[in-house]
């Protein structure tokens, strides 16, 4: 059940959390940076994804802070979330390697 390929937004959100906990705005910024500005998550999409990832126990709430009377909730990867991200990254890398190898056989293994 868990071997199903991830959606890109899910992959990027988990990647954004791989280096440490982030709040909502931080995740949006990180995802934009990781994707070179190609993926700009909107709040509705982000929180729908965060809600699902929490339900699937891939992420969890790290801590909450109130800054300028506004709530900041920090999320972090769970050990299972880290494993899923690593597995998905390996899968994508294997596919990319295979594609590049076939496109240019002279390159050999990337």
What token pair was written down for 48?
């729908």
Check residue 94 for interaction with another protein (CB under 8 A): no
Q: Using the minimum distance from each CB to another protein, give the nearer residue, 54 or 101.
A: 54
Among residues 7, 20, 96, 99, which is the contact residue for another protein, using CB under 8 A? 20
Q: Positive or negative, the Cα torsion across 39, 43, 44, 45?
A: positive
Q: Using the minimum distance from each CB to another protein, give the nearer residue, 52 or 99.
A: 52
Check residue 57 for interaction with another protein (CB under 8 A): yes
Q: Which among 38, 16, 36 has a CA at the least distance from the CA of 27?
A: 16
What token pair was written down for 53?
């990832």
Check residue 8 for interaction with another protein (CB under 8 A): no
Question: At its nearest, how many Å lie between another protein and the CB of residue 92?
Answer: 20
Helix extents (H) in 5-108? 8-16, 24-34, 43-55, 79-103
Among residues 35, 60, 73, 76, which is the contact residue for another protein, using CB under 8 A? 73
Whether residue 40 contacts residue 28, with contact meaning beta carbons closer than 8 Å, is answered with yes
Q: Provide the binding-site residues for another protein, judged by CB under 8 A.
A: 1-2, 4, 20, 22-26, 28-30, 42-48, 51-52, 54-57, 67, 70-73
């Amino acid at each position: 059940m868990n071997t199903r390929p991830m959606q890109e937004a899910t992959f990027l959100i988990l990647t954004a959390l791989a280096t440490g906990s982030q709040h909502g705005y931080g995740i949006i910024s990180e995802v934009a940076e990781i994707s070179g500005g190609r993926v700009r998550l909107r709040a509705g999409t982000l929180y729908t994804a965060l809600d699902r990832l929490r339900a699937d126990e891939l992420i969890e709430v790290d801590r909450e802070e109130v800054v300028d009377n506004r709530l900041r909730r920090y999320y972090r990867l769970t050990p299972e979330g880290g494993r899923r991200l690593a597995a998905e990254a390996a899968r994508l890398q294997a596919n990319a390697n295979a594609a590049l190898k076939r496109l240019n056989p002279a390159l050999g293994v990337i």
